[in-house]
Structure 1
Amino acid sequence: MLLTILTLTSFAVLVRIIANPLSNVFQKQLTQRAANPLFIMSVTYGVLTLVGLIFWPQLRFYGLSIEFWQSMLVSSLFAMFGNVFLVRAMHIGDLSVLGPINAYKAVVGMLFSIFLLNEIPGWWGLAGVVLIVAGSYVVLNDKQQRSGSENLSTNGLFQRPEVRLRLAALVLSAIDGAFLKKAIILSTPTIAFFYWCVLGFGFTFVWISLTMRTTWRSQVEVLLSQKTTYLALCAAVGVTQMASNIALANMPVGYALALFQISALVSVLFGYQFFSEQGILRKLIGAGIMVAGAVLITVLG
């Protein structure tokens, strides 16, 4: 048991659980300081690309299959849209609510991995996913009860723009995870990480060129004034993605995405600590149910 806990894969999952909510904190802080979500992601991809070029000169462009490039193109495109939608959602919503919503990614990722990678989940794995989704509902239900002026039905909840953006982001990133796993199988976690950054930067740069011709200069000013937060975000995103790649290389996509949802507990705590978000007790209970589901997947899935 101890040897299992100390494996590189387990360590990668643990690192990802901490680093991902931390990156969300920096993203939310930047949007509160007038940074555009698209520009935030473009800078993140660009800085990580430069880091890759400096520290991994052995990364190759040749010798990679057509299937690898196809998988990376699809993965990077979906990841770009998913990340931009995520940052937009963080700007207008609570971290302690939007973090746990991400639990549904495990379900989407598992469905796509069945068809793309022939990864068939076991019964205990499915039970763990159900617990994770149930825990996320507890968190969301708390948010509904605090918003007395809103429709308390589930449909009313999903009409809120931040929730819809977060759901769109998680669907896109779950699809990204399935294609990214395929690219990792055809190369290595490091190579897939590098080209995820390169292609992400290319896609966001084109998007900025088409939509931010009159505002990019003001965004550069925000970048210079908030360079410390930007650098912290780049580090957090880089660690998150590299840890995700290592985990995906050694685990089924659905299970990996499910385990990542333990970060819901961290998101709730960070939302309270950094942004004074309310309803902490019920959200912690919901996040605890999600952790139980993740443990079920780890031990018996």
Structure 2
Amino acid sequence: MSWLLLGMVVAVLTSAQDILNKQMIGRTHLLAVTWGWWFFSMPLLYGGLLFSTPSKITSGFWVVLFFSTVLITIGVLCYVKALESDLSISIPMLNFTPLLLLLTSPLITKETPRLMGIVGVMLIVAGAYVMFIRSSHTGLLGPMKALVQSNGPRYMLVVAVVFSISGNLDKIGVMHSSPLLWPVFLNTTLSAVLSVILLFYVPSWKEEIFRHYPKLIIIGTINGAALWVQMVAIQWTQVPYLIAVKRTSVLISALYGFLILKEGGLKERLPGILMMITGVFLIAFT
């Protein structure tokens, strides 16, 4: 059960990061924001190394790091392209990641979820989907129709597929190093690659970063903390379970909007919320 508590911590941190990300959309270049996720997470992660015991890197680590860096870079670029379209039809695609993990995890990590766990994952995915379509009023098949009509959802579906592979590589990377050493190396390589891309594709990158650096630092630090906790939890459970629990961040964001920002719409999201909570309980008792 300790992994479940850590998974909920990851969900809370992810929700906080999502809320701050939404405040940045339209104000700065999305590539600068995603670069900030990785670059400004490094002070926390490298600081953690000062207080951790030395860990060994075993055979296979560098190969996994290479493929994970390539995949996540592709995912980040597709994510940026997807957010250039209507958010209401693109974001739901990302919620399919845990569902895809049910297919990729048995192939990559040789983990086979139990029936109750599979039902739990499916309920969380369905709940997140229902919450989003009810709040955005796109209709039950709105995001699916958008796959045919718009590029944004297609890009986000690619992101979901990429993350369903890289999520498994995270577990392998942790097994070949440690829960701290893996995100340290991964964030370092991603920051280096994204820095080069930012330099060439965003001419105003200096202005974009310096104008919003306080918020970028906060977002990056939250991302670093979420990654660290996630890599600790990933040792003790199957990847689809952890990522499904992580996706309850949309539930936390909805509650934040209702309780703190006094937003409406909680009643229409209630079926999705109940589905997600039921899914978490099923996974917890698997």
State if a TM-score over 0.5 links the two structures.
Answer: yes
Tell me how far apart the structure 2 counterparts of residues 249 and 233 of structure 1 sit (CA, whole Å): 25
Give the AA of the match of 1:47. Answer: F
- Tell me if 1:200 matches 2:196: no
Count of aligned pairs: 285
Distance, in Å, in 2 between the alignment partners of 1:234 and 1:101 is 24
Partner of 1:113: 105
Instruction: Establish whether residue 14 from structure 1 lines up as the match of residue 8 from structure 2.
Output: yes
Shift of 1:77: 2.4
Partner of 1:261: 247
TM-score (norm 2): 0.84
Residue 80, structure 1, aligned to residue 73, structure 2: yes
What residue ranges of structure 1 are gaps of 5+ in the alignment? none
Contact residue 16 and residue 260 of structure 1 kept, 8 A: yes
Identity of aligned residues (%): 20
Structure 1 segment 41-190 matched on structure 2, within 5 A:
41-57=34-50, 64-86=57-79, 89=82, 93-94=86-87, 98=91, 101-142=93-134, 146-147=137-138, 155-158=144-147, 159-190=149-180
Determine the C-alpha separation between the residues in 2 that align with 1:190 and 1:240.
11
Stretches of structure 2 that go unaligned for 5 or more consecutive residues are: none
Is 1:241 equivalent to 2:227 in the alignment? yes
Match of 2:272 among 277, 281, 286: 286
CA pair 139-51 structure 1, distance change in 2 beyond 3 A: closer
AA in 2 matched with 1:77: V
Alpha-carbon displacement from aligned partner over 1:26-45 (angstroms, at most 9, x marks no partner): 22222221x22222222332
Distance in 1, matches of 2:112 and 2:279, equals: 18
* TM-score scaled by length of structure 1: 0.81
Tell me the CA shift for residue 207 of structure 1. Answer: 1.9
Cα distance, 1:262–1:155 mapped onto 2, change above 3 Å:
closer
CA contact (8 A) 1:96 1:267 kept: no
How far apart are the structure 2 equivalents of 1:160 and 1:219? 28
Structure 1 counterpart of 2:222, one-letter code? A
Q: Equivalent residue of 2:219, what SS? A: helix
Deviation string, structure 1 residues 43-89 (Cα, Å, up to 9, x no partner): 33222234434442588999523411111222222223324444554
1:252 aligned onto 2:242: no
